[in-house]
Every structure is written in structure tokens, then in C-alpha cells.
Amino acid sequence: MAKLQIGIVFGGRSEEHPVSVKSAREVAESLDPAKYEPYWIGITEDGAWRLCDGPGPGWEDGRPAVISPDRTRPGLLVLDERETIRLDVVLPVLHGKLGEDGAIQGLLELSGIPYVGCDVQSSALCMDKTLTYLVVREAGIAVPDFWTLDADEKPEKPLPYPVFVKPARSGSSFGVTKVTREADLAEAIATARRYDAKVLIEAAVDGSEIGCAVLGNGELFASEVDRVALSHGFFRIHQEDAPETGSENAAFIVPADIPSDSRALVRETAKAVYRALGCRGLARVDLFLKPDGTVVLNEVNTMPGLTSYSRYPRMMAASGLPLAEVVDRMVALALEGTAVAG
């Protein structure tokens, strides 16, 4: 059987560039060489596309290459050699802006090449936390009380402190501040606006942070759930100096040490959120489990981290699916989705 020619895109221009490179390295370790012929496409922080041997040191020096949006000449165009490489499927291991927001998905839709993960619409919805909350709330699922500020706007009413101030369209807790008094609000808004002109302010939720990894298109697989046990502050592992050796303030309990009925509720709610937002392929759904046993949505990641310390692969591994099998399933779902669409 011929190997699948898979293009793996990593890096990117968002603040999550280093996380993407680490995720790609884990994928490289897990990719079955008997099944796949990989073509590694790294995007530098300046936005240059490079065809390289893998996400190891020096990948930025690879050959200039881009994915063609022209369906009459589909595939990977190696610019200096005027060569076109056919791709059967693309795995965009990109996090944050221009990776999870529908941008790369739009290019891949134009190309006609099947790709792993959510489509343009669901990627854009999940990247913008305010839109996520509006859609999910309309579906009858609880979300935090929240307020949205566009460029230069200020809150019109007193806020119920504590609140979290966030860039509306960013990830991995970049630009997030917990605010407990009005005197600190303006600085927190300014911090968030370093990452996005649109700012989300949400009321703090009294509860444990719980995650669920979801995989699938029509029929969904929901993983064992995890619990983020915080010693202080809030979860921000991707901004720490050495996350591979453990978090400075968080431990991850998988399976979560919560009652079985709560685990079932988290799984079912995660699948309901996934469906409401039109997700496909994969996503990680983060929720708050309140002391009264109810759940509230936190956020949805449509291309969650796949690093050695990331939550999505940990939860899948606890469910009996190592990353190699998760990758196989993601690729199969991408190809299945194309067949259904055709």
C-alpha cells in the first residue's frame, strides 16, 4: 500500500510559535514511517514558509515552499526549483492566530487538499471567545458572565470583581490578567490589547478547571477528563521557562478525581459544545466544574497543544490512545470528511 503524502505545517506568526514547534516534534516522534511520507513545512516568526527535513534545529534554513491555492496545480510548490509535490492530506500543527482562526483553513479549502481539524467557520468561532460564548449560550450551555470591549472602549458599568481580562482572540493565557479591584483594570485591558484590539472581560467562576479531549466528525469520542490542580494564580504553563519539567503552579490529574456522574456530565457537555460550534476532527473543551455539580464553559481549542506536557495527548493516552493512534485517527477523519463532502 502506498504511503500517504502528508504535509505538516508548524511554527507560524502567533505568540504560540514555540509551542507549535514543540507540538510538531512530538508528531514527528509519533508518525509511523510505514504509513506516511511526511513533508515538513515550517513557517518562521516573520512569515516565511520553508520546506525542511523536520522541526529540529535549523529548520528555518529550509527551501522556500508554499501550499498552492490553485486547484489546477494543487500541492506543495517548491519555489526555487519550480517543483510541485502532491499532498494527500495536510496536518496544520499551528496554534493561535493564523493557525486556529480559519486563516490556514481558508487556504487549504482553496487548495482542495484534505486537512486535519476544524473548518473555516468553526475555527473562527472558537478562536473568538466572545463568539464562542454567544453560540454556546444560545445552545443552552452555561457560560460565564462576560463583557466585550472593542478598540478604545471602556466598561460602562461597575464589574463584579474578581474578573479575568483577556484578549478575545488569543491562546495559552497570553495577555490574561486576573483583576480583583477597579484600580488595576485599565492596566489589565492595556495588557490584553497588546495581543488583540478586542478584549473580553469575564466574571471569575468558582469551580475546578476540567478538560476533555474530543475526537471525531459525526460520531464523537470523548476522552478521560482531567483536572488542573492549582496551587496559586491561574493556569499558564506555555509561558513558563521549562514546562517540560512541570508547571510552576499546576498539576494535572488524569483521570480527574471527581465523581463518576461529574465525569459523565463533562464528557456529554464537551460533545454538546463541540457540536454546537460545528467542530470536526479534534478539539479540547475546557470547562469549570462548580461545587454544586454543574459545569460552565471556559474555552475551546481547535488545535490543542500536542507537546510532551500538553493536556490533549495526556487525556487521550489515559483513554488508551497514544499520540501515534490519535494522529492516524485525525488523518482518517480528514480524508473521511472530504469523501462525505464530495
CATH number reported for the structural domain that contains residue 224 in this entry: 3.30.470.20
Cell of 147: 463583557
Cβ-contact 169, 198 below 8 angstroms: yes
pLDDT at 247: 54
| Whether 175 and 212 share a structural domain | no
Residue 166 belongs to domain with CATH number: 3.30.1490.20
Residue 44 belongs to domain with CATH number: 3.40.50.20
Cβ-contact 255, 222 below 8 angstroms: no
Buried b (16+ CB within 10 A) or exposed e, 226-254: bbbbeeeeebbbbeeeebeeebeebebeb
Q: Is it true that the peptide bond before 162 is cis, omega within 30 degrees of 0? A: yes
| Whether 171 and 215 share a structural domain | no
22: annotated active-site residue: yes
Nearest-angstrom CA–CA distance, 299 and 100:
13
Single residue among 157, 179, 203 that ends a domain in this structure: 203
pLDDT at 337: 58
Single residue among 203, 220, 247 that ends a domain in this structure: 203
Q: Which of 238, 267, 280, 314 is catalytic?
A: 238
Q: Which of 42, 175, 211, 305 is catalytic?
A: 305
327: annotated active-site residue: no
pLDDT at 167: 95
Q: Which of 13, 17, 22, 198 is catalytic?
A: 22
pLDDT at 170: 85
Cell of 261: 456522574
pLDDT at 152: 83
Residue 106 CA: distances (Å) to CA of 67, 124, 187, 251, 334: 12, 10, 35, 37, 15
39: annotated active-site residue: no
| Whether 222 and 322 share a structural domain | yes
Nearest-angstrom CA–CA distance, 272 and 246:
32
| Whether 131 and 268 share a structural domain | yes
Residue 214: CB atoms within 10 A of its CB come to 24
| Whether 94 and 172 share a structural domain | no
| Whether 135 and 264 share a structural domain | yes
Q: Which of 39, 195, 274, 309 is catalytic?
A: 309
| Whether 223 and 326 share a structural domain | yes
- The model's pTM is 0.92
284: annotated active-site residue: yes
CB < 8 Å & 24+ apart, contacts of 192-197: 192/165, 192/166, 192/167, 193/151, 193/167, 194/167, 195/15, 195/167, 195/170, 196/167, 196/168, 196/169, 196/170, 197/150, 197/151
| Whether 323 and 243 share a structural domain | yes
19: annotated active-site residue: yes
pLDDT at 241: 55
Nearest-angstrom CA–CA distance, 217 and 332:
10
Q: Which of 9, 12, 19, 179 is catalytic?
A: 19
pLDDT at 270: 98
State the residue range of the domain holding 171: 146-203
Q: Residues in the chain with pLDDT < 70?
A: 172, 231-249, 337-342
pLDDT at 3: 96
| Whether 211 and 88 share a structural domain | no
| Whether 221 and 284 share a structural domain | yes
Cβ-contact 299, 200 below 8 angstroms: no
Nearest-angstrom CA–CA distance, 172 and 12:
15
Q: Which of 154, 244, 320, 340 is catalytic?
A: 244
238: annotated active-site residue: yes
Cell of 174: 497570553
Nearest-angstrom CA–CA distance, 336 and 185:
47
| Whether 244 and 299 share a structural domain | yes
pLDDT at 341: 43
Q: Which of 13, 17, 95, 271 is catalytic?
A: 95
Q: Where does residue 148 rank: exposed (0-12), middle (13-18), buried (19+ CB within 10 A)?
A: middle
Tally the domains of the chain.
Answer: 3
User: Strand 4-11 relative to strand 36-43: parallel, antiparallel, unpaired?
Assistant: parallel
pLDDT at 157: 82
| Whether 162 and 39 share a structural domain | no
244: annotated active-site residue: yes
Q: Which of 227, 284, 314, 329 is catalytic?
A: 284
198: annotated active-site residue: no
